[in-house]
Amino acid sequence: MASLLRDPLSHFLLIAAALFLIWPLISDRVAPPPNQITIAPPQVQRLIAVFYKTHLRMPNADELSALVEAEIRTEIYYREGIALGLDRDDEIIRRRIAQKLQFMTQDVADRQTPTDTDLQQFLDTHKNQFGAEPEFAFSQIYLNPDRHGDKIAQDAERLLIRLNTSDGRIDYAADSDPLPVPNDFELTSVDGIANVFGEAFAKALTELPAGRWVGPIRSGFGAHLIIVRDKREATTPQLSQVRDAVVREWQAARRDEANADTYRDMRAKYVIKVELPPERGGQPNEGAKK
């Protein structure tokens, strides 16, 4: 722990934190002298507001001047404390500063506005996220293994021949065993099919030829004869059709990336050494504190 605090990471955080905390004081001056303390109007307003909340009246001149003096005193003690490095071994300050910087650097992407080019690129590389999955229209006849037993392959074969040679009429009541899912599916996404029949079935179905009864294909329920009636290849929707969704996902992706980048960049500035205590029994943290 102590070695971590000696490394440059804490110094960087310190600088960032100091910048953050002091920024209101210096924001209207590009480079104020290091020993200058400015109490700006927003700060005074905050002091007054806090006073008002407690006393339910405005402070008089003396009171206000006392408030400002207290603020200056805090600032001076703060700066001197920093100069002495008092923050370094303080876990509370360390954590608070780290959290603050994390908070500042996160979610920045939410505020960015993507261009059409950004969005088009994102759409091209994330087609599946925007309803462009391949879709299949099909019908299925269910054969329950408990009902057909050993004859299931035979029964399936016989039924297949009849289905493919008759006039296309289907009698689900006679041929399909009871299952509380539909026999006929219009164009349905592979995910949608997987939700009803399971993943293995959905995958198998995507590879079937269209236009004739085939099978049996296995699902979690048993065996199925299938006819794929229509197939829509995965297409990229027009940006105009899915713009809101793309903006949403673009921002989410940017945010994750930005958060990761920020941390990676910062981390790249450091040489990090982790020295684990020698392996031995006893308490997990024994030795870590030295």
Q: Which residues bind other proteins (CB under 8 A)?
A: 46, 49-50, 53-54, 91-92, 95-96, 99, 103, 129, 131, 135, 137, 144-146, 168, 172-173, 176-189, 191-192, 194-199, 201, 219-222, 229-230, 232, 237, 245, 248-249, 252, 256
Using the minimum distance from each CB to other proteins, give the nearer residue, 11 or 46.
46
Using the minimum distance from each CB to other proteins, give the nearer residue, 44 or 245.
245
| Secondary element (H or E) of residue 246 | helix 239-268
What is the smallest separation between the CB atom of 171 and other proteins, expressed in angstroms?
Answer: 9
Distance CA 143, CA 176 (A): 6
Using the minimum distance from each CB to other proteins, give the nearer residue, 220 or 277.
220
Spatial CA neighbour of 96 closest among 13, 36, 22? 13
Contact in structure between 45 and 128 (CB atoms under 8 Å): no
What is the smallest separation between the CB atom of 111 and other proteins, expressed in angstroms?
Answer: 14
Using the minimum distance from each CB to other proteins, give the nearer residue, 4 or 8.
4
Distance CA 253, CA 258 (A): 8
What is the smallest separation between the CB atom of 31 and other proteins, expressed in angstroms?
Answer: 27
Using the minimum distance from each CB to other proteins, give the nearer residue, 8 or 95.
95
Residues in the chain: 290
- Report which DSSP code applies to 237: P
Distance CA 161, CA 158 (A): 5
Using the minimum distance from each CB to other proteins, give the nearer residue, 122 or 197.
197
What is the smallest separation between the CB atom of 176 and other proteins, expressed in angstroms?
Answer: 6
Distance CA 290, CA 288 (A): 5
Q: Is the dihedral of CA 274, 278, 281, 283 positive or negative?
A: negative
Using the minimum distance from each CB to other proteins, give the nearer residue, 65 or 128.
128
What is the smallest separation between the CB atom of 105 and other proteins, expressed in angstroms?
Answer: 13
3-class secondary structure for 264-283?
A: HHHHHCCCCCCCCCCCCCCC
What is the smallest separation between the CB atom of 268 and other proteins, expressed in angstroms?
Answer: 19
Spatial CA neighbour of 140 closest among 57, 202, 65, 50? 202
Contact in structure between 64 and 39 (CB atoms under 8 Å): no
Using the minimum distance from each CB to other proteins, give the nearer residue, 220 or 287.
220
3-state secondary structure of 189: strand
Contact in structure between 131 and 165 (CB atoms under 8 Å): no
What is the smallest separation between the CB atom of 287 and other proteins, expressed in angstroms?
Answer: 19
What is the smallest separation between the CB atom of 258 and other proteins, expressed in angstroms?
Answer: 13
Contact in structure between 155 and 145 (CB atoms under 8 Å): no
